[in-house]
Structure 1
Amino acid sequence: MHLKTLPICLLLWSMLSNMFFCSTSYAQQDRYDQLLKEKKKICETTMATFSGKPESLDLLINTGSAGLKLTRPDDHGYKFLFNQAIGNGFYYKQDFKQAKDHFEQAYSEALKAGLLEKSLKSLGNLIAIYHYLGMQGKADDAAQKLKLLAEATDTLKNKSDIYYNLGLYNQQQKFYYGIALSYFLKSAALHKHIADTVKAVKSKLDYGVKLMMVSEIYIYLKQPHKALQYLNEVNPYLGQSIIFDITAYGKFIRAAVLLNDRKVALKYYNLLYSVSGKVHGKWSELVSSSLEIAALALKDKDYPLAKSYIDRADQQAKLDSNEMLTSAVNLSYGDYYKSIGNYLLAVKYYKASEHGTAIYDKERYVDLLKSLTAVTIMLGGKAGAQNYFSKYVTVSDSLNQEKVSLNLAEMEARFQNEYKQQKIGLLNKENEAKNMELLQERNARWLLIGGALLLLVALVLIYVNYRSKQKANLLLDKKNKQLDVINEELFVANQTKAKLFGIISHDLRSPVSQLFTFLKLQQTKPGFVNEESEKVHQKGLMQSSSNLLATMEDLLLWSKSQMDHFELDNEEVDVEHLLMEVLKLLRDQAEGKKMKLEIGKLDYQFVNSDYNLLFTILRNLLQNAVNHSFSETVISIHANINAEKQQYISILNHGEIIPAERIKELINDVHVNSKSSGYGLLIVKELTGMIGAKLNIFSTKEGTTTQVVFS
């Protein structure tokens, strides 16, 4: 391989390597985005069509975990979605510890991504989970944040969900059932419009869940008929989700138990057992429903039936391994053994239930302490009974105090509402009185306005007259300015026309005259020119024709550049290719003067410019160099970078030294001087300015250098 071609090969190899690296990087980026979108779609679809089946829970956990591994540190939106999906999976598997961790992460990532409304979902989940894990302080903090955000949220769905979560918080953790009922009713009312207008199953099931929570409060308030009223609205949504069906059947059972309707209770219990049997899982509703049937049997003194349902609840609670459920089962065992007179076993189960019941159900804890006091007395343990009774009094007083506080709060809210209504009434009366006064004042004002209007009409007429004259003057001034612009444009057009005719008269007439003279000579005296002279003249004519064509192209390009809407077509121009094309065009002319054209040092490969304009500039400059160079000299073209980091192309030729004053005239003279520059330098000066470059000319003993410097 020739040594001169080695740098070019290395450069090509570097370019190909960079292109391959960039294309590979883009392909990897596209693949990365595609994988994230696929995982996101799976999680969103699964949550939107959630059925409660174990495989759907595993799909959420596995897909979310795989998605998290793909995310980068700043992918907060994706991290929120994947953590929320994993949290939902663990939540319905009743693995509250892992659910807590992922919901906390989801909430944090939502805030980082600025997804305030989406963060509400994670915050609502955390309220319940903190409660289940005995972290009541954190649950209270989360509920307070949610309450503050409720008024700032205007999205119907989000507001409905906030009210729902606040209802759960007040029901399950604070036992403020009146406030909880108010929140649940607001939540259901807001969601009803969504459920009625959309076809999505998930949205309709969410509405059903909110109706069930309203019925839950009425069950607690011992109003089973009201509870059934809302539960019956849930019937159309049954059969679409296992979790939904199990929850609904559990509430139907509790309402039937309150009505002492064993037949209906067993009907829904069998439906519950049938649905839950389709999918093996930790169904807490099976535990509570079994205990409800057992309580109904104990009330009817059907002890064997009661024991069988408590045993069923115990088996299911052991699968769940949840203190809330096991404490409820132990409490039912205590009630059962107390009912049959086995006080030792009753005490044993009551004590086993004491810790969990104290945490999760204060009202049942009061009943438990009361029962412990009774059975301890039956066993003769007066000291122990006294201890339990003291606890009973303390907890009962505390619970009653909470209820009193709640009642006082509700009374205060009612009072404030009535007070505000009274205040509004008084303000309305005051407004009516003020309106009467305003009416009287208005009548008096109209009399004054009538007189003022007459004066105003006169003033308006004067003003209109003044404005008309002012507008006429402004319009005249505007027309004068437009006329000035038109005159200026006409002046420029005349100058351009003068330039064009001057160029045509000098630079086109000569080559056309030569061509015409030679053709006329051949026609009139074909034998006058011998064969050798004819070849010489033909070569000259070919050169003249080539120059004529180039001249025509330059004129067309220059004329086009004078148009108002001319736009540059900038691109990355290959400098070496451009210079070779320019040299090729003028090589024959140079050889006629025994000159050599060569490309010198190239410090850069590409320059950003308009190819056609730059080609025309360099061809004209090189043609001038050929015209003004001594015979048997070398003209070289270089592409370098100056001290100011500017790219420039220079042409060095060897001819007569041009004085500095003459160079200044050539650069600044706007008139065409046919003998020296012709149209070429005129075009060069204008086109160089159009591409944002600067023309420099230096002439010394070493030669004349013409530079095109790019800004």
Structure 2
Amino acid sequence: MKKWLLAFLIAVPGIVGFSQQTPDSLLTVFKKQKDSDAKCETLIGLSDFYYHRDPKLGIDYSNQALSLSKKLRYETGIAKSWLALGKHRMVLGDNDQAKIALDNSISLFKKQGDHCNLGIVYMHRGSLFGNLSKFPDALDALFEALRHLEKCDDAETNKTFSANCYQNIANIYNATENFDKALINYDKAIKMWDALPNNKVASAMNLASKGIVYEKQKKYDAAIDVYTRALSELKKLLPRSEVPMAFVDSWLAKAYFDKEMYDQSLERSNRALGVISKIGDQDLLASALQTIAGAMVYKGIKTKDANLANEGFGKLEQAIEIHKQIGNHEGLIFDFAIMTNYYKFISKFDKALKASQLSNIYKDSVFNFKNKQSLQNLEDERTIELRNKELQISKLTIDNKEKQKWYLIAAISLLAVIGILLYYQSHNRRRINRKLQNLNAELDKANQTKTKLFSIIGHDLRGPVSHIYQFLELQKTDPDIFSEQDKVRHNDRITAAAGTLLETMEDLLIWSKSQMQQFSLNPQKFDLAEAVSGIAALMQSQFERKNVSCENHVHDFLVVSDRNIVTIIVRNILQNALNASDEGSKVTIDATSSGKETRISISDNGNGMPQNSRDILTGKASEIDSAKSGLGLSLVYELGTLINARFEIVDNNPTGTSVTILLPAM
């Protein structure tokens, strides 16, 4: 790439970053100001305005700002003045003085902890090293600039100069022919410029810079495409885009020349030449003249137009003179190559030979220089590669730390999950243990039920069966022992015993079902008086044998409950009252209702209910005591529980007991 191309690329931030204020407006403000920090800032503003316009005048304003800032001990002004001086010295090519000025600025901004301005100074330091072809140092400075800009609180400064940094990083990769990285960083810069207001010029110039990459890769169509797009954008931004357009027109002219599109090349070169002449950049002027001369000469040769070729030769002589003045040997190689073809065209072969020899002499000179430069570039590329690897290692270290953090989080999460699972397992174990305990309790209860069942069977079935067996045995062995009257009486007793046995068996079946949890309630509305009368009638013979009267005071009384259970409960309590009654006494049955519950009371005049029997009936004890109560009070209590019945036991005055059955409304 030609020297002037790289110089322009490094200088792009300055060209697109001119002050928005005019020198006249700044001077008007300056004249009204007294010596102060604000006056220093105005002088620095004037210096910035002349950056890439008139560097010598810019240096003058920078020196004035530096002197005033030192007088006022305005540290920020001193640091900014050194920065301005460094920028102008770079434009003039005074790189040693530029480095000194930038180093002074960095030292002062570091003391102030000013990350915003440190980012700007390091960016220009990167540009300086780029101009000196010290590409690894340039990249170091640019990456340092990015680090400081990340800490800058001013969002606009951060974004603007970060875009500049990526742009210059791309320029360095372009210069070292690392084209892929160059294109990546140009795209990154374009994206950042597009996101900023009033920076379309910078965005367009980065797009055009991609064309230089394509041109070096001999992808001329791609180069022409991006140059054309960039010019289209820059045209919308005139007049402030006039100078950038001249550069892009020159690059586009060269691309057309390489494709032998001489008319288009001449059109673009002549358009750029007018602006370039005003800038005064001799290297750029010579390159533009060379492109014009080459297009005219080669078109003249192609069309056999001697006049056009002669006109091109005149332009070529101007380019050669400027290239010799500035010592651009690479430019002279192409100048004398064009001259060789021109002299061949006009049949002056001796001069063509001489021009060819001069081209080869300069080519050898450049070749030797390039060999040295190639070695330096190889070292630079190796250094850049090592720096990139260091950055990659640093990134991997950060990534590993990030991974370790996530691994730690994952491990903690896993431990938490394991803890939850262990807790859940422990909770389940406790729940299962409780179930097992309940099952064991139920098993114990079932065993108690079995014991109770055998006890009841042994007590309540033995008596009736024994009576029947004894009578039948006597009748079999000695039938004449009984008179007809005795036989009738004993037959009545056997019948009564058989009836009692049948009822007891039925009660046992009901009780067994209730103990096995297979008993289902059957609530219904029934006549309590009818049920109680039926019970009294069945037990009438028992009352008569014991000479105890049964008074039933229950009449026309409807209740809702399980009739079978109520019947069993009433019969057993009535049986218990009969057993407790003395001969000649009475048992009374009454019933009342309060709407919420029904009260059935059975009273006797016996010797009272033992305490153990009371405890069984009220659920305070579970021992079986059925010697005088059929199935016993245990059956009464358990069946009462099924229908939510309660029992009240009251001693009568002077003797006897009243047992009240409280049936809830269903």
Pairwise TM-score range, normalised by the shorter structure: 0.3 to 0.5
Larger RCO of the pair (alpha carbons < 8 Å, separation 6+): 2
TM-score, with length taken from structure 1: 0.42
Larger Rg: 2
TM-score, with length taken from structure 2: 0.45
